[in-house]
Amino acid sequence: MAIIALVSAKGSPGVTTTALACALTWHRRLVLAECDPSGGSVLAGYLGGTLDGPRGIGELAVGELRDGSLESAFWSQLVDLDAPRRERLLLPGVVDPAQAGSVTPLWHRFADFFLDLERGQPPYDVLVDCGRLQVAGPPWPILRAAAVVLLVTRAKLPDLSATRSMIRAVERDFTEHRVPPGTLRLLPIGDGHGRGEISKALRLPVIARLPEDPRTAQVLTLGGTVRAGRPLMRAAGALEVPIRALLDRRRARLAWPAAQGVPDAV
């Protein structure tokens, strides 16, 4: 499935929590990449700061700028979330604000590298936590390369209002860069307006809805035992199904003209 990106408009709607819940329940090999320019939180939070030494995308960026070592160093910078199987891997985000300056010029490079992971042996999907767009140096190249971009938002009116303006900004950028239509989807969290209301108000399809589950969110944020039967984990595990169905429909549309001998102009 290549790249699935998660992003938000403002505040803390739960992008990292959602991304981590999905990563822990994904059914295919997966790399969870923390590409939030404001910094990663999984190492210090969910993993409790138990790993020694610097590790993650910041170290990769420094090495790539110094001697072009991204390919050779990539796998050594990952954390196995389900050791020793190496089926759910974490690429930690920047931990030092100074590292953000090294990462920002390389978003194109990371986007291309993540795309190649789908074609690797073995292949990996890449789930990318892009954080908020309203920061310096957002990872636009990764969003443009993503097969699906999920806009994570709370279902309350103030959050939906902020998300509306971001949707228009993303749509303008995607049109300018010829990103395939249908890439953008909403992923609301918690109580508030209904799924149909949200989709109609924001003029964007809702791919699924995640429940409010403070107990699980706290574990994913601060560490502890993740219980697979909790509402958030069940919903996150089910999210892979509509994502895969969306991509299957798109690939079928793109393949149909070629099968009919018509140039692909979709």
Predicted structure pTM score: 0.92
Give the three-state DSSP class for 90.
strand
Closest by CA position to 220, among listed 263, 254, 189, 175: 189
Give the three-state DSSP class for 197.
helix
Structure tokens at 39: 């910094």
**CB 209 within 8 Å of CB 188:** yes
Report whether pLDDT(53) > 80. no
Q: Please name the residues in contact with 238: beta carbons below 8 A apart, sequence gap of 6 or more.
A: 208
Give the strands of the sheet with 184-189, arranged side by side.
79-80, 88-91, 30-34, 125-132, 3-8, 148-154, 184-189
Class of domain 3-259: alpha beta
Give tens-digit pLDDT for 163-212. Answer: 998 999 999 999 999 999 899 999 999 988 999 999 999 999 999 999 99
Contacts for 211-215: CB closer than 8 Å, 24+ residues apart:
211/235
Give tens-digit pLDDT for 67-108. Answer: 999 999 999 999 999 989 999 999 999 987 777 888 999 999
Q: What is the pLDDT of residue 265?
A: 42
